[in-house]
Amino acid sequence: MKVVVTGSAGFIGSNVSMYLLKRGDEVLGIDNLNDYYDVNLKLGRLERVKAYDKFTEARINLEDKDAIFDAISKFKPQRVINLAAQAGVRYSIENPSAYVDTNLVGYCNILEACRHHGVEHLVYASSSSVYGANTKMPFSVHQNVDHPLSLYAATKKANELMAHVYSNLYGLHTTGLRFFTVYGPWGRPDMALFLFTKNILAGKPIDVFNYGNHRRDFTYIDDIVEGVIRTLDHLPEKNEAWDSDAPDSASSFAPYRLYNIGNNAPVELSHYIEVLEDCLGKKAERNLLPLQPGDVPDTYANVEALVQDVDYKPETTVEVGIKNFVEWYREYYNV
């Protein structure tokens, strides 16, 4: 197939692009290479992807509607994977307008381009952050998610609602994926594993929020990519049993689906740090801090729908995943 991947220089986007290219698909990668974090890391990811002949690069802001329309009209993809977004819960507290520009305006441009250029399926990144103030575990796609705790989470919930409108009005097949704490080699420097590793190796203390009592459904990058590709290949259909008197938020009378994509095995942050210490052969000095504004104490993904529909089976333990990350980190940074 021809597939557009936005955020192709990103952590998930670069790995998804490589998977598609390895299996023979043609990929147009769209990314603006912004400086939210180290651009050299993004360029390094991109070099791995550009090694494949069927990859075409386009450096475009999602907010640039004309450029997005031009790229997609010329490439003529059957399917689009939208992974480009302004990420980060804490940054959304400091710089909310960046999230409106990219996650709302830019995302609308993607929806419009799909609508006007015959795209049959849009798969897009949502987030476990949409569960916000919910406390019933494991989080289910059938739960109400109307109480976000950050603007980042609110924009992701908005993405889901916008997708439903386009599925309903224009028949665009859309699948939203609520990612749960993705980690692994080539990961994001603003994420905990990256920050912890950097500081431990430098002999500096690490900031441990909620006094280390967080539980996170840490999901290894390879398991995430597998789920993304399986959903890309699985067109969502109308739920003929959908009941407007008892509406299910995960499906619809339109060709629309939502899935959690996580490891289905929450791990305490303190244990996560212990595994990292073992892999580094060095103990961390922990700076214990209260829960940060916008953060949720626990995440735990119910992935039954994804298992049922596409036979999704996350298999990577944190012991294996962190070991792989540390090996990559030491090699990449020569430490």
**Which of the residues 152, 166, 220, 256 is marked catalytic?**
152
Structure letter (DSSP) for residue 171: -
Q: Distance between CA atoms of 145 and 19, rounded to whole angstroms? A: 32
DSSP 83-115: ------HHHHHH-HHHHIIIIIIIHHHHHHHHH
152 is catalytic: yes
Tell the residue number behind the tokens 């992807």, with chain if given.
49
Q: Distance between CA atoms of 297 and 128, rounded to whole angstroms? A: 12
Instruction: Name the phi and psi angles at 189, rounded to 5.
Output: -65, -15
For residue 68, give the 3-state DSSP assignment: helix
Query: From residue 220, how far is each of 22, 195, 231 by CA, in Å?
Result: 20, 17, 17
Question: Is it true that the peptide bond before 138 is cis, omega within 30 degrees of 0?
Answer: yes
Asked if 6 and 110 count as a contact pair (C-beta separation under 8 A), the reply is: yes
Q: How many CA atoms lie within 13 A of 259 on its CB side?
A: 29
Q: Distance between CA atoms of 69 and 14, rounded to whole angstroms? A: 22
Q: Distance between CA atoms of 186 and 12, rounded to whole angstroms? A: 9
For residue 199, give the 3-state DSSP assignment: helix
Closest CA to 133 of 144, 148, 143: 148
For residue 85, give the 3-state DSSP assignment: coil
- The first and second tokens of residue 35, run together, are 């400086």
DSSP 24-51: T-EEEEE----SSS-HHHHHHHHHHHHT
Active site residues: 152
